[in-house]
Chains A and B, each alone.
Chain A
C-alpha cells in the first residue's frame, strides 16, 4: 500500500470507527441511566403502643417493597426486609417451622434473617431504626426518581 493510500484509508476509517464507538457509548448511557445516590430519610413507622414485645408488623418502604417491623425487646425494634438476597423473590414466614422460606430457590432464613440453607449469599437486609420516646422511626432510602 502506498503512503497516500494508507493516509486516505486512515482518514476515512478512523473517524468512522470513532464515530461508531461514540454513538455506541451514547446509546448505552441513554439506555442505562446512572442512578443518583439515594438519600436516606428518617420516617415515623409506628408507636411502641401499637407493637407489643414479640409482635411484628408488615410495612411498605418508599419503593413499595414490604418489610417487617419486629419488636424484640422493651426498647428494641428490628426492621427486616422480606426480599430474598439470592434473586429478589419475597420470602414467606412459616409459623410452624419458625423460619422464613423463599419459594423461588428454597432459601431458608432464621427469624432474625440469617441464612440457614439454600443458595442466598447474604442474610436478609435490615433497616436502621431509632426509638424516640414512644415512637419508632425507620431510616429508608428515597424512592428513585
Chain B
C-alpha cells in the first residue's frame, strides 16, 4: 500500500464533496472590491489569535506583574513591540470593519427575511468584539485602561435588576483587584475566543445555507450569468484583500507602534481621561444624561439593533416604499458621528 493510499484509507475525505462545498455561486456584485469586505473582521480575528497566543506566553495576569510584563514585551523582548502593535491595530481594524460591515448590511437591508437570525448573530458578534476590546485593554493595567475598567464595571453595576450581581461577577468582589484582572484575562483568552469561533461558525453557516443576498445597481451591465464561482474567482479576490489589509495593518503598526502609558494608580483618576475610540459615543452620552438613562440608552440601542429586522418589517407595513428604515439609519449614524466628534473635540 502506497503512502497516498494509506492516507486516503485513514482519512477518507470525499474530494468531490470538498470541491462542491467550495463552489458556492457568488452574486455578481461581489466582484466589486468594495463589496468584498465582509471577511475583513475574520482575517483580523485570525491575526488576533496568532499574536494573542504569542503575547500570552509572557503576560502575567497579576496586579503587581501585569504592567511590568507588558512593559517587558514592549521594550525588551525581540519584536515584542511589533507583535503587540499588530495585536492592537488588528483589534482596531476588526472593530472598525465590523461597524462598516453592519452599516453595509443595514443600508442594503439584507437583514430582511430569511436572514433575521443571522443579523442577530451578527449583532452578538459586534458586542463580543467590543467586549474583547474592553477586556484586552483592561489587561494592560495602565492608568487609562484601569479607569476604563473601573467605569465599565460600574456601568455594569448600574444595570437595572441584575446590576449588583453582574458587577460582582465581573469584578470578582466588591472592588477592582486581582480577581477582576483574573476574570478579564479568562474572558479575553478563553471564553470570548471560544464564543467568537462558535458564533462566526454559525454566521458563516447561515450565509452558506441561506446564500449571499443578490444586490443590483443602477446602470449595471446586463450579463447572462447572475453568479460566479467561489473557487477560484472569489477566493482570489479575497486573497488580494487579505494582502492589502495586511499591508495596511503592518504599516499602521510600524508608523504608530504601541507605547506604555502611566502605571495604574487606583487612587487617582487622570485629569484627561478618554476611553478607546469605539466607546466615545457612549462616553459622551454618559456625560449628558443621568446614570439611569446613561446605562439604559446603550441597552435600548442594542435591543433596537437586535430587533431591527422586525421593526423594519413593521415600518414597511405602515409606510410602504417610504424607506423609513433608511432615514432612521442615516439619523442614527449622524448622531453617532456627532457624539464621536464631540468627544474628540470636547473635554
Tell me if A35 and B155 are in contact (CB < 8 A). Answer: no
- A32-B169, A90-B267, A104-B147 known; A119-B286 Cβ under 8 A: yes
Q: Cβ of A32: which chain B residues have Cβ within 8 Å of it?
A: 165, 168-169
The 4 closest A-B pairs by CB, nearest first: A87-B154, A89-B269, A90-B269, A88-B154
* 20 interchain pairs, CB-CB under 8 A: A28-B169, A32-B165, A33-B168, A33-B173, A35-B174, A66-B267, A86-B154, A87-B154, A87-B158, A88-B151, A89-B150, A90-B268, A91-B269, A92-B269, A92-B271, A103-B269, A105-B286, A119-B290, A119-B294, A121-B290
Cβ contacts under 8 Å, A135 to chain B: none
- Beyond the given pairs A105-B286, A118-B287, 8 more chain A to chain B contacts, judged by CB atoms under 8 angstroms and listed by A's residue number, are A33-B168, A60-B267, A64-B266, A103-B272, A104-B269, A119-B286, A119-B288, A119-B289
Question: Hey, which bits of chain A sit against chain B, CB under 8 A?
Answer: 28, 31-33, 35, 60, 63-66, 86-92, 102-106, 118-121, 144
Q: C-beta contact mask, B287-327 vs A, less than 8 Å → 1, else 0?
A: 11111001000000000000000000000000000000000
Interface residues of B (CB under 8 A from A): 147, 150-151, 154-155, 158, 165, 168-169, 172-175, 266-273, 283, 286-291, 294
**Bound state CA distance, A60 and B165, in angstroms?**
27
Q: Are A88 and B150 in contact (CB under 8 A)?
A: yes
Q: Is the CB of A119 within 8 A of B287?
A: yes
Which secondary structure dominates where chain A touches chain B? loop
Residues of A within 8 A of B150 (CB): 87-89
Name the B residues within 8 Å of A106 (CB-CB).
Answer: 287
Residues of A within 8 A of B286 (CB): 86-87, 105, 119
Complex: how many Å from CA A31 to CA B173? 9
What's the minimum C-beta distance from B103 to chain A, rounded to whole angstroms?
28
Which residues on the A side are within 8 Å of B287 (C-beta)? 105-106, 118-119
B147: min CB distance to chain A, Å: 6
The answer to whether A103 and B175 have CB atoms under 8 Å apart is no
Chain B residue contacts of A35, Cβ below 8 A: 168, 173-174
* CA distance in complex: A65, B147 (Å): 14
For B174, B269, B270, the residue with the greatest tally of chain A CB atoms inside 10 Å of its CB is: B269
A87 with B290, Cβ < 8 A, contacts A35-B168, A64-B266 known = no
Q: A66-B267, A87-B151, A89-B150 are in contact. Are A103 and B273 (CB under 8 A)?
A: yes
A64 touching B290 in the complex, CB below 8 Å, given contacts A35-B174, A87-B154, A87-B155: no
In the bound complex, CA of A81 to CA of B290 (Å): 21
